[in-house]
Each structure stands twice: as structure tokens, then as C-alpha cells.
Structure 1
Amino acid sequence: MENFYLFLVMCVLLIILPGPDTAIATKNTLISGRTGGLKTVIGTCCALLIHTLAAVVGLSAIIVKSAFVFSIFKYAGAVYLMYLGVKTLWALRSKHKDHWADTEEVHAAKGTSFFKQGFLTNLLNPKVAVFFLTFLPQFVDAGAATFMPFLAMGITYILLTAVWFLFYIYLLDHIRAFMNKPKPQTIMEGITGTILIAFGIKLALEKAY
């Protein structure tokens, strides 16, 4: 593996850049505190592990090179993000004092877990597959076997993602008392829902590489 420290720096910069995973983690942390955020991040990391294994065995190349397969993942991911965004905005219409607690109970009753949201948001994003296939090879020696380097870099990326989101979730949890006041909460719900819809539209308009 070449330039491992440069790889670490690039990973950190990419991870802290806000995206759909951050939006989902933010929403669920504000809904259910630390527990909701942690379950979401575990789902995200499990999806990243699948992306890593897919890159190792070459499945990511199929997704990237096949416009049809890429489109399936792209539109499924876009629809799911927009669904979560619309659902968040719709909650504003039926808002009441204990809305977040009630919403969490409804989610649990329907089997819609925070883990599932984090998992599907990341797994159905074809840009993650493209990232692994285009980013990781830049740090592998020319002509060298890719299995172990890809696996090591993928696991490193997952660990860095987990560390960052743990910090982010604990920070959000500390300011959650303020955010749960009626006005800030309404603003955050509106912003988060709008961002999720925007990410969904952006993903739907993405072209295969």
C-alpha cells in the first residue's frame, strides 16, 4: 500500500463532508438521542462493510460499468431518501408535545429501525460503490494484489467513519435539550427533511461513471 498517511487524511476529509449519512444520523439523534444515532451509525458501517467486500470481489465494478444496475441502485436510493425527507416534513403537520417519543414508538411498532435507515441509505447509494472502486486503487502499488490492501483500507475507512460519527452523535446529544425546544426543533425538522429530499433529487440526477 502506498501513501497510507495521505489515505488517512483524505478519508477524514471525505467522512466529515456532510452527506445523506450525516443527514440520517442527525435526524435520528434528534428523534431518539444517542441511542437512535448509534443504531443509525451501526447500520451505516454495516453497509460500508458490504461495499468494501463488494470492491474486494469486484462487484462494485459491475455496478459502475453497468448503466442498468447503476440506475437501479440510484433510483432506489433516491426514492428512499426522498421518502424519509417527505416523512420528516409531514411530521410537522401533526406535531405535538410528545411527537418525537410517539414517532419512535410508531417506528418500532412498524419494524422501521434506525439501523435499517442508516443501512439502506448507505447501501443504496451507488456513489459509495464508485468511491471505493476509484479511490482505493490510487493507494495500491502498481501490479500488486488488491485483495488485502482493499480490505485493509475499507476497514480503516469504516473505523474512521465510526469514530467521527460517535463524536458527532455525542455532540448532538449534548445540545439536544436546546434543539428539542419547539422553535429550534421545528426548524431542524424542516431543514433535515428538505436536505434529505435534496440529496434524493441529486442522487436521481447522477449519471453513471
Structure 2
Amino acid sequence: MTSSSIKDYATALNILKGRESDLETFTTYSPSNRFIEAYIDSENLSFSVKDEDGSIFAMALGEDPVILKCDRLATSRGLSVDANEFEHRADWDFYSIDTANFASQKICELSSDAAEISAFLTMHAPNSSVWPNDPEILFWGEVRKENDLAALGALVQWRTGQVMFASIATHSDYRNQGLAQNLVQEMLSRATKMGLVHVGLGVFAENFSAKRAYEKVGFSLVNEFSSYNFVGG
């Protein structure tokens, strides 16, 4: 790794030019106003940010990255970390897609009933990351069957500026019918009309059916991560 800490956000961006996956990961998960530092060499990338609650989130990517001081850590899948310091939380994958190919497709219907959305997520996707009234939400998209809410999802814009899908969920009675895939395509069409050109999403590594659906839409895998909480002294 580089021998010194990079404290300037623009310098880190400049070094990462030409490294598409690392650059997208860095700009997605490191808002410039909360950036602390980075260590970068030709094979590895580490950086840390300070969250709104004062906790520190860090990423360590590559085969031999610096593990920065943090409360929460995400690493490249398969990277070994000290089990006495970090407790494994989950494995997840980061995908992204350009919206241009969806400009001529059907635009999703909007969902605006917060109580209905909350009830749907509570019943069919209780571990959803985004719920009504989250300030990052751009819109909720929906698919209905006989006036029943059958599939639902949010498009959000993080403080980094990155636009992401979140809380994509299908009613248990309508699963395995391609509704989530159709919804995502229609939401991408609406995103295009809003002038949004690139969208990402995170999905648990073991959610193979969701990953297949996203890949059919055209999403490309950017990175595979493991997440940890710091438990050491």
C-alpha cells in the first residue's frame, strides 16, 4: 500500500481514475463531506468516512489493503480479518446499470400511501433498508394485480449523490412471476425521464433469485463484499 494517508478527496478521485470498479465503489460509499482518509496503491483501496451519528465506516478492497480504524467495516469477499476485532454481519453484492436503454419502456406507477407501503413491507419484506418518510427517497414504484399491491420498490439518492434501488419486495402470493424484474425495468424508465443516468443496488449474496432477476434486467456486478462490526478493544 501507499506509505501515507490521503486526506484530500479530490486527490483520491484522481488516483482512482481508470479503475472503474474501485472508483464507483469509492464515490458511492464515500461522501466528500464525510471523507476521512484513504490508502491506495495499484492493487488495493482502503477508505473511511464519518457517519452522521459519529461512527466510522471503512472499506478495505483488494488482497492486502490497510484495515482502517472503524466501527463498521466492509471488505472484499474472502479477505481475512481478525476475528478478535471484527464480527461478521453479512455478505452482499453491489450492482449497477446505466438507464439509457430503458428510455422507451413503460414507466412505473407511483406508490404514495405511506401506511400501505409500511404494511406491505412489514408483511412481505420486514428487513427492508428503506421505509416511508426516509428523506433520501426519490419515489416509490409499484405493480398492482387486481388493485392489490403486488410488488414495490424505492429509488433513493444517497448523500454521495449515488442513486440506488432499495426495499424491492414482492407480495408472497405473487412471487416467481417476474414482477420485481418488471418493476425494476419500469422504475429505470422513470429514472431516465428524471435525468438519472446511472443506478446501483445492493443485494445479499445468498439472494440468488434476486440477483438472477437483476442480471436479466442488465445490471453488472461491481463488487462483492463482506460486512463486519468492530468488537475488539
Shorter-chain TM-score range: under 0.3
Name the TM-score, length of structure 1 as normaliser. Answer: 0.25
The answer to which structure has the higher strand fraction is 2
Q: Highest relative contact order (Cα 8 Å, sep 6+), 1 or 2?
A: 1
The answer to which structure has the higher helix fraction is 1
Name the TM-score, length of structure 2 as normaliser. Answer: 0.24
